[in-house]
Amino acid sequence: MEYTNLGRTGLQVSRLCLGTMNFGPQTSEQDSFAIMDRAVEHGINFFDTANVYGGEGNRGRTETIIGNWLAQGGGRRDRVVLATKVYGEMGQWPNHSGLSALHIIRECEHSLRRLQTDHIDLYQMHHIKRDTPWEEIWQAMETLVAQGKVIYVGSSNFAGWHITQANEIAKKRNFLGLVSEQSLYNLDARTVELEVVPACLEYGLGIIPWSPLAGGLLGGALQKIEEGRRSSESTRWQVEQKREKLEAYERLCAEMGEAPASVALGWLLQQPAVTAPIIGPRTIEQLDQSLDALDVDFAEDTLYRLDEIFPGPGGPAPEAYAW
């Protein structure tokens, strides 16, 4: 396994991050345990979850599964950089969602209980909350850091100017601020290259791409459908909308002798500021296959052809659309 620093911090994390959103809704607790054990065997030390994961009506279930796995001992907690999130609706009453100081501190306590740990290594805001002052948010986060319940703070689904605003205010408070941003980023979704990537580079945030396979589209979806494998109606519709691109992509992957999923993950690992794409395996086999991405060799011509198939916005703003 390869390791890198998370953004500007001294924290070392694996170049693949284990996403756990399937734990509970699609993967049983026993199978989730097996996947986490195998991830550690492979050297993956970066696990990502969220308080809302677990499925409709069962939010918190995923954190509970992870907590039960950690409770088995054997040095599991010391081997894992544990990341979770706060923001989503955890109840129907007021103050059961968002980024108020009350919600942040209360949900941190709930996550700690479910995860059966005394601290969260990376506590991420799951979304921007525009009507909550940054002074309130940072006061809550500073309290949790001072108490030793949170080590680092990250964001998810922030715009570039949100990252700037957050870290400039944190700087005035002599607080470390955001160290990571978890964004939608893959070959077919490159909008973050306009302003989020430049902001992360400027402020030293590590980018943690979610949906690196575009919901499976970049994992050989076209070939799987043509082979008669089961797929959702939504996947089949998206494949038809992007058939020409996917045909060219899967043809290029075949020429490279690599699985499409490996190429998609490997491409992200080549991008500036990217720390670790989030892989969300439902099975051990999917987890094992994802490690091939670390060994994909990208020639300049290959990267050029990928840009032709999946053109980005044209670089950072404003040059992407002006001069």
Is residue 90 one of the residues assigned to a domain?
yes
- With cut-offs at 50, 70 and 90, classify the pLDDT of residue 232: confident
CATH number of the domain where residue 19 is located: 3.20.20.100
d(Cα 55, Cα 38) in Å, to the nearest integer? 24
Token pair, residue 294, equals: 């670390």
Residue with the larger pLDDT of the pair 226 and 99: 99
Rounded Cα–Cα distance for residues 254 and 129 (Å): 44
Tell me if 283 sits within 8 A of 22, measured CB to CB: no
Instruction: Report yes or no on 320 lying in a domain.
Output: no
Whether the CB-CB separation of 86 and 126 falls below 8 Å is answered with yes
Q: 57 lies in which domain range?
A: 3-309
Question: Is 304 a catalytic site residue?
Answer: no
Residue 321 covered by a domain: no
Q: What percent of the chain has pLDDT over 70?
A: 99
pLDDT computed for residue 229 by the predictor: 73
230 φ/ψ angles, rounded to the nearest 5 degrees: -65, 140
For residue 231, pLDDT over 80 is answered with: no
- The catalytically annotated residue of 3, 53, 203, 249 is 53
Contact status, residue 88 vs residue 52, Cβ threshold 8 Å? yes
Q: How many domains does the chain have?
A: 1
Share of the chain above pLDDT 90, in %: 89
Determine, yes or no, domain membership for 93: yes
pLDDT (tens digit, 9 = 90+) per residue, 141-156?
Answer: 999 999 999 999 999 9
Q: What is the pLDDT of residues 252-271, one digit of tens each?
A: 999 999 999 999 999 999 99
Backbone angles phi and psi of 11, in degrees to 5: -75, 125
| Average pLDDT score over residue span 4-27 | 97
Give CA angle at 56 (278, 136), nearest 5°: 70
Band (133; pLDDT cuts 50, 70, 90): very high
Tens digits of residue pLDDT in 108-117: 999 999 999 9
